[in-house]
Amino acid sequence: MALFNPLQVKEINEIIASVTKAIKPKCEIGANDKTLLNALLKTHDPKKKATYFKCKREYSETIVSHFVKDKGVTKSRFHKNSQAYIFIVT
C-alpha cells in the first residue's frame, strides 16, 4: 500500500465518506471510466445502474481496497486499476 501525506489522507477520507453514504447491500464497487463502464453495463446487464465518484487516479485502488477488505463489499468484475472514477453498481 502506498504511503500518503496528511492532505492526501484527508482527500481519500472525504471520498470514502461520500461513497459510504451510497453503499447498499449486495452492491459492487470498482474503478473504471464512465463511458466504458456504461457501455459494458448495457451489454452485460442493462438493469444495473452505476453511481460515480470522482477521484484522483492514484487513490482509486486504495479506496476500492478499503471497501473490499474492511467493509466486505464485492469487487466488480469491471474494475480496473488507476482510474479517475470510483463506481458502485446496484
pLDDT tens-digit readout, 46-82: 889 999 999 999 999 999 999 999 999 999 999 999 9
- For residue 65, tell me if it sits in a domain: yes
**Percent of the chain at pLDDT above 70?**
98
- Across the chain, mean pLDDT equals 93
Instruction: Look up the pTM and report it.
Output: 0.90
Q: What is the 3-state secondary structure (H, E, C) of 15-78?
A: HHHHHHHHCCCCCEEEECCHHHHHHHHHHHCCCCCEEEEECCHHHHHHHHHHHHHCCCCEECCC
Report the domain count for the chain: 1
In a domain, 30, yes or no: yes
Judged against a pLDDT cut of 80, whether residue 5 lies above it is answered with yes
Is the predicted pLDDT of residue 38 greater than 70, yes or no?
Answer: yes
On whether residue 51 sits in a domain, the answer given is yes
Domain span at residue 39 reads 25-89
